[in-house]
Amino acid sequence: MPARVAVLVSGGGTNLQAILDFNSERGSLAASEVVLVASNRSSAGGLDRARAADIAAEVFDSTDDGSSLMALLTSCNVSLVVLAGYLKRLPASVVKAYHRRIINIHPGLLPEFGGAGMYGSRVHAAVLEAGVTTTGVTAHFVDDEFDHGPRIAEWRVPVQPGDTVESLAARVLAVEHLMYPRIVDLVASLNERDFFADF
């Protein structure tokens, strides 16, 4: 049985789309099935992508103690939560209930280029400002601090001479689309076997 996944989005949802496309290509071999897409923003483009794929698309109150999100996750019998451009901190109650069952993708290397306020183009601007020659994509488990839980995988990406925030963002996002669906598949298959239970 594929793991039942909820994807949380705040924006356009291109990573959500990459996961949906990957799973449909894998067919019955996919280790996960997206059963819910949820957002703190009713205008999030990711919700339209979910509706187009016939997946439940819900908006929840991200300012409460976590009970509205927990109610959604429970009603859909979700076993793995995937953050894909979700910009709010998750309440401690949700992090506790889904220990090692929540993952995130970050468009930079951690911990150097992460933390509160480090999202989207700000990450790439900080990378250019620091003058480093390598950036990357990091997938990690989520705890109740921004960009903080144990890292699962890191994919390094070169910074090229003349790069702008936009050119770097595009190179990094293309790697996210390649990497995240495979990370979701891996974590889903291992979680089903309680691989991360003591971790």
**Shortest Å, Cβ 15 to ligand GRF:** 3
Over the window 100 to 129, marking each residue x when it contacts ligand GRF by CB under 6 A and - when it does not, the resulting string is -----xxx----------------------
Q: 187 near 25, Cβ under 8 Å?
A: no
**157-196 exposure pattern, b = at least 16 Cβ within 10 A, e = fewer:** bebeeebebeebbebbbebbbebbbebbbbbbeebeeeee
**Shortest Å, Cβ 172 to ligand GRF:** 7
CA pair distance 81, 32, nearest whole angstrom: 11
**Shortest Å, Cβ 11 to ligand GRF:** 4
Binding of ligand GRF by 12 (CB under 6 A): yes
Q: Dihedral sign, CA of 195, 148, 182, 31?
A: positive
Kindly give the pairing relationship between strand 3-9 and strand 80-83: parallel
Segment near ligand GRF (CB under 6 A); pick from 12-20, 22-30, 110-118, 157-165: 12-20
CA pair distance 48, 54, nearest whole angstrom: 10
Is residue 106 annotated as a catalytic residue, yes or no?
Answer: yes
Q: Dihedral sign, CA of 116, 103, 37, 112?
A: positive
Binding of ligand GRF by 84 (CB under 6 A): yes
CA pair distance 98, 66, nearest whole angstrom: 12
Binding of ligand GRF by 15 (CB under 6 A): yes
| Residues 131-170 within binding reach of ligand GRF (CB under 6 A) | none
Q: 136 near 168, Cβ under 8 Å?
A: no
Binding of ligand GRF by 179 (CB under 6 A): no
C-beta closer to ligand GRF: residue 71 or 132: 132
C-beta closer to ligand GRF: residue 121 or 160: 121
The residues binding ligand GRF (CB under 6 A) are 9, 11-15, 84-85, 105-107, 173, 176
Catalytic residues: 106
